[in-house]
Amino acid sequence: MIVTLKNIKRIRELRFNIPGSGVWVLTGLNGSGKTSLFASIYRMHAQHAFQRFYKTSPLEHRLDSYDSAEIEYEINEEVVKYHYGGQRWRATPRRNAKLFDHSPYPSIEYIEASADRIEPFPDEIQPRRLRQASAQLKSFLENVLGDEKWDNLHYVNTQRGVGSAAYLIPYKVGGRNYYYSEKSFSLGELCVLKLGKKICAVEERSLLLIDEVEMALHPQAQVRLLRKIAEVATEKNLTVLFSTHSATLIKNANRKNLIHLKTGDDGVVSVTKGAFPAQVLGDVAFDDELAADFVFYVEDKQAKLLAEQMFGMYMAHCHPDAKYRPLYKVAPVGGFVQVLEMLNSSSGIFPSHVKRYALLDADVKTESLAEAQRQNNQALLALFNNSANCVTYLPCTPEQGLIDLFEVQAVANNDLLNQLNGMFPGHAINIRSLTTAVDYLQLTKANIRDRSKDRLKNIVTKVAGVTGIDEIHVRRTMYNEYCKHKYSGKNIGQLRRLLGPIFNAR
């Protein structure tokens, strides 16, 4: 089977022959077409794939246009092409629209890294409703994560539809039952759980598309994940395409199963199977992982976006000569415990000149650390103490900081409100209307962080719909406004005091 992409984003042409069974590690620089390729392959078993991954904007004749895009599928020497027709993608010739029915895969599954959770209501957590997770899933989690706690994994079927299984781990204290729900799982654990559920249930001879699921895992766990997937793939005769930027996985993959995508100056993407790891690392890892003076571990992508805006403002004021600015990378890891563990265990990954820090959300200091001190939790306190010299804190919990900016500070400051309404030049944004809308006010989860996440998602989705700007850029712009409000003018000294000791350390 051959899939060919033409004029998709910056790709003029990418021709990909889907390999046979086994685990294939797919890598390349950002923009080389990995996600676009996965979307096109996924379309063979998911009619919504183009709408999900190839999103257009309201100004599609000028922005994010797919007018000249073409995706061609060759199956059993028959060909069908898809073109964007303004509202949906159309097959040519139409008689071959059902060609996907003849693909050799009974199922195609797409798995990506995300923190999606299914949390049970309290009345659903009853001993009689708990079910043991499958032995296969528990074994998968134990093997990859190296933790025996997964042997006690259970689930409950929630009241929100078929297939809504919420996972939890029961434990007892003083004879009473307690439960760790998915809310307590780290990002890496959730990703492995989601992947484990898919790969344990998938039909034999299926195709799995795994998109950077390893990003929140420790390098040792990444290697165990790759080996476990290879084991299951052999048992079920699966074809697995695993996209990654991880130098660890690239170095541990079987060379004949390493696929490297590289974009030429003409926009044509070359596909090299059996690439040498050093060749790939020179293209991927040097640019994306190794060329840094500082590495900052944070909890999630929101913390990464906020940290990058803070660093950008700091550099502009304190290192105005761009030639001599320190280089840094910000890596989202998972919960604060995983961040500290990564900080403590990653010294062997980087050269000695690369300084590593944990940059934790503000609520870790005010809540988690304070709670550990009150309970005299020696294990957790030791983890903090071992990292004390390399831990600092963001000025807020990211989503809470933005919601406070929109709901509280902007209400009391008309100049700030006008500034926020002008975040996206050429578009009429009314922050006050967004934060007083009925659907917004109905987002009332008791936990302030969860409520802030929901409300920020509500605002971002609406702004992206009005402006045609992708949601990541919308969030980045909002965090930039947060930093400007907090640190501009005479307040720049606060930012210097926070980051100066880090970037000026000898």
Pair 505, 468 in one domain: yes
Pair 127, 86 in one domain: no
Number of domains in the chain: 3
**Chain segment 321-331, per-residue pLDDT in tens:** 765 678 888 98
Confidence bin at 283 (pLDDT 50/70/90): low
Pair 407, 324 in one domain: yes
> Which runs of E-coded beta strand occur in 152-287?
154-157, 165-173, 176-181, 207-211, 239-243, 258-263, 268-273
| Structural domain ending residue among the three candidates 233, 255, 284 | 284
**Chain segment 5-16, per-residue pLDDT in tens:** 999 888 899 999
Question: Is 198 part of a structural domain of the chain?
Answer: no
Nearest C-alpha neighbor of 220 from the set 113, 331, 145, 139: 145
Pair 274, 298 in one domain: no
Residues paired with residue 112 on neighbouring β-strands, in sequence order? 211
Pair 167, 232 in one domain: no
Residues paired with residue 144 on neighbouring β-strands, in sequence order? none
Question: Is 305 part of a structural domain of the chain?
Answer: yes
Looking at residue 213, which CATH number applies to its domain?
3.40.50.300
b/e code 195-209 from CB counts within 10 Å (16+ = b): bbbbbbebeeebbbb
Q: Which one is predicted more confidently, 290 or 346? A: 346
- Contact status, residue 315 vs residue 358, Cβ threshold 8 Å: no
Both tokens of residue 283?
A: 């293209």
Mean pLDDT of 482-499: 92
369 DSSP assignment: I
Pair 325, 380 in one domain: yes
Rounded Cα gap, residues 301 and 446, in angstroms? 23
> According to the model, what pLDDT value does residue 287 have?
43
Question: Is 309 part of a structural domain of the chain?
Answer: yes
Question: Is 484 part of a structural domain of the chain?
Answer: yes
Question: Is 96 part of a structural domain of the chain?
Answer: yes
- Contact status, residue 2 vs residue 74, Cβ threshold 8 Å: yes
Q: Which one is predicted more confidently, 506 or 473? A: 473
Rounded Cα gap, residues 219 and 249, in angstroms? 8
Q: Given a cut of 70, is residue 60 above it in pLDDT?
A: no
Which residues constitute the domain of residue 78?
2-113+203-284
Question: Is 418 part of a structural domain of the chain?
Answer: yes
**Chain segment 455-486, per-residue pLDDT in tens:** 999 999 999 999 988 999 999 999 999 999 99
> According to the model, what pLDDT value does residue 153 have?
93
Pair 99, 50 in one domain: yes
Q: Structure pTM?
A: 0.58
Q: What is the mean pLDDT of the chain?
A: 87
Question: Is 193 part of a structural domain of the chain?
Answer: no
**Chain segment 233-274, per-residue pLDDT in tens:** 999 999 999 999 888 888 888 889 999 998 888 889 999 898
Pair 40, 128 in one domain: no
Rounded Cα gap, residues 362 and 468, in angstroms? 32
Pair 297, 162 in one domain: no
Confidence bin at 138 (pLDDT 50/70/90): very high
Other residues' Cβ atoms within 10 Å of the Cβ of residue 385: 11
Burial of 415 (0-12, 13-18, 19+ CB in 10 A): exposed
Pair 155, 28 in one domain: no
- At residue 460, the 3 state secondary structure works out as helix
- Contact status, residue 27 vs residue 248, Cβ threshold 8 Å: no
| Structural domain ending residue among the three candidates 284, 307, 324 | 284
Other residues' Cβ atoms within 10 Å of the Cβ of residue 451: 16
Pair 276, 354 in one domain: no
**Chain segment 170-216, per-residue pLDDT in tens:** 888 888 888 888 878 888 888 899 899 999 999 999 999 998 877 77
Pair 167, 267 in one domain: no
Question: Is 100 part of a structural domain of the chain?
Answer: yes
Both tokens of residue 154?
A: 């259970």
Task: State the DSSP string of 281-350.
Answer: HHHTHIIIIIS-SEEEEESSHHHHHHHHHHHHHHHHHH---GGGPPPEEEEE-SSHHHHHHHHHH-TTTS
Q: Given a cut of 60, is residue 64 above it in pLDDT?
A: no
- Contact status, residue 193 vs residue 215, Cβ threshold 8 Å: no
The gap between the terminal CA atoms of the chain, to the nearest Å, is 55
Helix or strand holding residue 63 (H, E): none
| Structural domain ending residue among the three candidates 284, 319, 339 | 284
> According to the model, what pLDDT value does residue 432 have?
94
